[in-house]
Amino acid sequence: MTTRRLQSTSEDIKTAAALLQAGQLVAIPTETVYGLAANALDKDAVASIFVAKGRPQDNPLIVHIGELEQLNSLVTDIPDIAEKLAKAFWPGPLTMIFKKNDCVPSIVSANLDTVAIRFPVHPIARQIINASGCPLAAPSANVSGSPSPTTAQHVKNDLDGRIAAIVDGGACEVGVESTVLSVLGDTPRLLRPGGITVSMIESVIGPITIDPAVTHQRQKDAVVASPGMKYKHYSPKAKVILLNGSAEKVTSYINAHAEEDTWALCFEGEEQGLTVPYLTYGKRDNQEDQAKHVFDALRHADEVGAKILYTSCPSQEGVGLAVYNRLLRAAAFEVIHLEE
């Protein structure tokens, strides 16, 4: 199949919407990362998402809506806290887990009785959802396991020839996937950190629980609330190893352990003294910038042929928790602590 490259003109938006209505897959820009969209109510279209990405069938998808009213038909109940959060953060990079309505095919939710819903703020995403007239199931538009795509070129590199079209909306603003929060039960539970931070959520609804899987490896057969969190993920071909420590300690560790094709992925401004080639992903104290650049940097590491990628460990403050969560999975949980 030839993958069409579309822009954000009204004609191209109509084309994207028509392809979606016809059960095809279209990669669309959102404020988080590019999504691989299909009509969420068409189970065959949704099934083809799993095939195109090579995604495990037990990893449920997020359903994207273009207007708040669309929520009512997809879920059985909207808890008060969800209403408050929607008011505060929708449209935006927050996904909430609700009890699912029967109209949502079970393949979308991997047979769970719940469904993840997000209302994106990106104007092109919203226009495409609304022009198609259907909610769109859309995981990240990458080959499963590889770093998420933050540009149309990243999508093309992964999925060219496997999907009907890619809509180019430029680089994504946030750069990491949405925050996933379960609003079921008594205490809301953070399943995946993202652009909407824990403190932003807590400022609206009070204390929330952070699922242990956010920062810790789960036992192989443990039941995980968010199935996506159990996989090695977001990973380049290079072996990623996180180094937790000051710029000086990171630099001397890398220099002492450098082998052939070892690269560093460090914070901007902390490159001096490194004896190996390096990439950067934002300044140490700028978590938003790190989020915006981390996936591009991981993809770049493959392009330059890095075999080992020693990576400066980000802080877990604010959006940093999302960056840490993704890098931890890219590193298959291998962190070396350099401070005493």
| Residues within the interface to Mg ion (CB under 5 A) | 140
Which partner, ligand AMP, Mg ion, none, binds residue 311 by CB below 5 to 8 Å per kind? Answer: none
Residue 177 interacts with ligand AMP (CB under 6 A): yes or no: yes
Residue 329 interacts with ligand AMP (CB under 6 A): yes or no: no
Which partner, ligand AMP, Mg ion, none, binds residue 97 by CB below 5 to 8 Å per kind? Answer: ligand AMP
Interface region with ligand AMP, contact rule CB under 6 A, candidates 1-9, 220-228, 262-270, 297-305: 220-228
134, 201, 229, 264: which one contacts ligand AMP (CB under 6 A)?
229
Compare residues 140 and 311 and give the one whose CB is closer to Mg ion. Answer: 140
Which partner, Mg ion, ligand AMP, none, binds residue 227 by CB below 5 to 8 Å per kind? Answer: ligand AMP
- In angstroms, what is the minimal distance from the CB of 63 to ligand AMP? 8
Closest CA to 174 of 195, 197, 151: 195
- In angstroms, what is the minimal distance from the CB of 19 to ligand AMP? 20
Residue 240 interacts with ligand AMP (CB under 6 A): yes or no: no
Compare residues 81 and 175 and give the one whose CB is closer to Mg ion. Answer: 175
Residue numbers 92-111 binding ligand AMP by CB under 6 A: 97, 109
Q: Are 234 and 326 in contact (CB under 8 A)?
A: yes
Q: With helix as H, strand as E and coil as C, how does 260-282 read?
A: CCEEEEECCCCCCCCCCCEEECC
Residue numbers 178-207 binding ligand AMP by CB under 6 A: 180, 191-192
- In angstroms, what is the minimal distance from the CB of 148 to ligand AMP? 7
Closest CA to 127 of 6, 1, 44, 3: 6
Q: Please classify residue 110 by burial: count the beta carbons closer than 10 Å to its beta carbon, then call 0-12 exposed, 13-18 middle and 19+ buried.
A: middle
- In angstroms, what is the minimal distance from the CB of 190 to ligand AMP? 11
Sheet (strand 308-312) strand order: 278-280, 262-266, 308-312, 239-244, 335-337
Closest CA to 52 of 118, 228, 61: 61
In whole angstroms, give the CA distance from residue 169 to residue 31: 10
Which partner, ligand AMP, Mg ion, none, binds residue 114 by CB below 5 to 8 Å per kind? Answer: ligand AMP
Question: Measured over all CA atoms, what is the biggest interatomic distance in the chain, rounded to whole angstroms?
Answer: 60
- In angstroms, what is the minimal distance from the CB of 164 to Mg ion? 20
**Residue 172 is encoded by which pair of tokens?**
């994504």
Q: What backbone torsions phi and psi does residue 245 show, to the nearest 5 degrees?
A: 170, 180
Length, in residues, of the chain: 340
In whole angstroms, give the CA distance from residue 288 to residue 328: 17
Residue 61 interacts with ligand AMP (CB under 6 A): yes or no: yes
In whole angstroms, give the CA distance from residue 110 to residue 112: 6
Q: Are 255 and 273 in contact (CB under 8 A)?
A: yes
Which partner, ligand AMP, Mg ion, none, binds residue 109 by CB below 5 to 8 Å per kind? Answer: ligand AMP
Residue numbers 109-148 binding ligand AMP by CB under 6 A: 109, 112, 114-116, 139-140
Question: For binding to ligand AMP (CB under 6 A), which residues are involved?
Answer: 59-62, 97, 109, 112, 114-116, 139-140, 177, 180, 191-192, 225-229
